[in-house]
Structure 1
Amino acid sequence: MVVPAQLTAEAVNELREGIDLLLGRWSALQMAIQNEWGGRDTHQKAQQLALDIYHWLIRPTETLYVDDLENLLDDFMLSLNTEIDDGSIEEIAENLMIIHEECLDGSFASIEKLRQSASQTTNHGMQVVNCDDDDLASSSGDESMGVDPCPNMVDMAVGDQAQTVDADGWTVVSSRRNRSGAH
């Protein structure tokens, strides 16, 4: 029997921070939190998601499959009354798996990139746009997130992304992959 690799204490801390940083950049999740699409306790639900992902990733005796992680993320977003069809669930799941693998290898390159990206955008602030159901909301185009010395995904600002509200009142989140040359 092959014994799965174990995370060092440093890797555990890096993994937790990486999860928070990555979820903090996920625009669909941050919009759901900001708008309380899952109710008044959406903030707490999102904190629990980060913890659930962490516990899912550190299971030492089970093989981890990205499809299972995608299902966990999809089920969570559905619990917030949010259906995601922009490919971001798959992207987040894949990046979480990469971060986990790097942590197992003692490498924290992806997490460091997330940290650097977060610190570069800290000074840009966040623009809050209030709009009625009939209005279209759009963001400034640069990714803005607040960085706390003790990061917590729920305290990070929404990564800016083009968004519109359709005739039924649903917010449509466009995929970064689907935006042609926009940067």
Structure 2
Amino acid sequence: MADAAAPSPLILLFARGVLSLLDLWPALTIAVAEEWGGPESAEKKTWVASTIIDEFETRAKLPADPSASLPPNVNDSQLDHDDLADMLNQMMSDEFEANIEDGSIDLVVGDILRLWRDVLTPPEGSTAEIVIAALETKAGEVRKTGIKATKGAEVEVDSDEESGSGSDEEENGMDVDEAPQLVPRERQEPVVDDDGFTLVQKGSKRSGR
């Protein structure tokens, strides 16, 4: 978190929601399962979540005392949609060598920003508690059943070897039952793994964090 002090209860609530939303993001789930980021792919997913949460916490400076009133300008310096989308795009490219072109980053960003607003809605966190409980339930179901790959979305991935391993709320923008189909870059021969995902080979792979 942002400092050594105990984080605000609202940040802890927000963190639960962010973790669930990332669990429900098919592109990231597949990237971790297929180890696009190498053996440390799961740790990189945790780092992505931590980076997002820290960014909101650092900017908001929420009081650790749950009874304290929120600063009147708590949202003035928050990330906007484009900033957060750029951050996610960069992290997926740097950590998993994946270019997400299925539009899902915009959906994830919209869900995260909506969640943040819910967390800050008076009485603080009351609406978010309901939403996050639903998200956690759905994320648990997805972890048990997995995510199916379907046609229509595009994710480009670069790798020097084949992969290593084989919300219930109306406002949740992501369709968690569908995962993106992988498509090759031009002038490169695709490799299809046992799960039917098409991966693209590249001369060298980015080393893990």
| Residue 113 (structure 1) aligned with residue 134 (structure 2) | yes
| Residue 97 (structure 1) aligned with residue 113 (structure 2) | yes
Q: Counterparts of 1:7-18 in structure 2 under 5 Å?
A: 9-18=8-17
| Residue 75 (structure 1) aligned with residue 74 (structure 2) | no
Give the gaps of 5 or more residues in structure 2: 1-6, 62-76, 151-175, 199-209
| Residue 85 (structure 1) aligned with residue 118 (structure 2) | no
Aligned length: 137
Give the gaps of 5 or more residues in structure 1: 1-7, 128-136, 140-157, 173-183
Q: Counterparts of 1:1-183 in structure 2 under 5 Å?
A: 9-58=8-57, 59-60=59-60, 62-79=77-94, 80-105=96-121, 106=124, 107-108=127-128, 109-118=130-139, 121=141, 125-126=145-146, 138=149, 161=179, 163=181, 168-169=190-191, 171=197
Question: Quick one: which amino acid aligns to residue 88 of structure 1?
Answer: S
Identity %: 24
SS at match of 2:99: coil
TM-score by length of 1: 0.63
Q: Deviations over 1:120-166 (max 9, x none)?
A: x3696348xxxxxxxxx857xxxxxxxxxxxxxxxxxx965364665
SS at match of 2:47: helix
TM-score by length of 2: 0.56
CA distance in 2, matches of 1:123, 1:29: 13
Deviation at 1:10, TM superposition (A): 3.0
Q: Is the contact between residue 66 and residue 94 of structure 1 (CA under 8 Å) also seen in structure 2?
A: yes
CA RMSD of aligned residues (A): 2.9
Deviates more, 1:92-101 or 1:61-70: 61-70
Question: Quick one: which amino acid aligns to residue 94 of structure 1?
Answer: G
- Between Structure 1 and Structure 2, which shows a larger proportion of strand residues? 2
